[in-house]
């Protein structure tokens, strides 16, 4: 596990919660999982998968936006099992 990426993810999710409560609150329902075999980020309704190097390379504001973007995939899709 890339601890630097995990810390950056936790910081971005916390800032998302403080700055945009709706998205941040929903992001708390998704368990973060590092996956180096995906190019960016992905969700399955229960997990938020992220490529640690990709996430670290994003500027901080875009880290929050990327998490919010993935959250909206869950919001818009109703058939998660």
pTM: 0.92
Distance separating alpha carbons of residues 33 and 9, to the nearest angstrom: 10
Q: Are the C-beta atoms of residues 37 and 50 closer than 8 Å to each other?
A: no
pLDDT value of residue 66: 98
Backbone angles phi, psi at 57, to 5 degrees: -75, -15
Q: Are the C-beta atoms of residues 41 and 48 closer than 8 Å to each other?
A: yes
Parts of the chain with a pLDDT under 70 = 78-81
pLDDT value of residue 77: 79
């Amino acid at each position: 596990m890339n601890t630097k990426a995990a810390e950056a993810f936790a910081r971005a999710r916390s800032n998302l919660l403080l700055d945009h409560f709706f998205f941040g609150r929903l992001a708390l329902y998704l368990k973060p999982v590092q996956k180096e075999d995906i190019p960016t980020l992905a969700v399955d309704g229960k997990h938020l998968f992220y490529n640690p190097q990709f996430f670290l390379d994003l500027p901080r504001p875009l880290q929050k936006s990327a998490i919010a973007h993935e959250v909206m995939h869950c919001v818009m899709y109703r058939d998660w099992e």
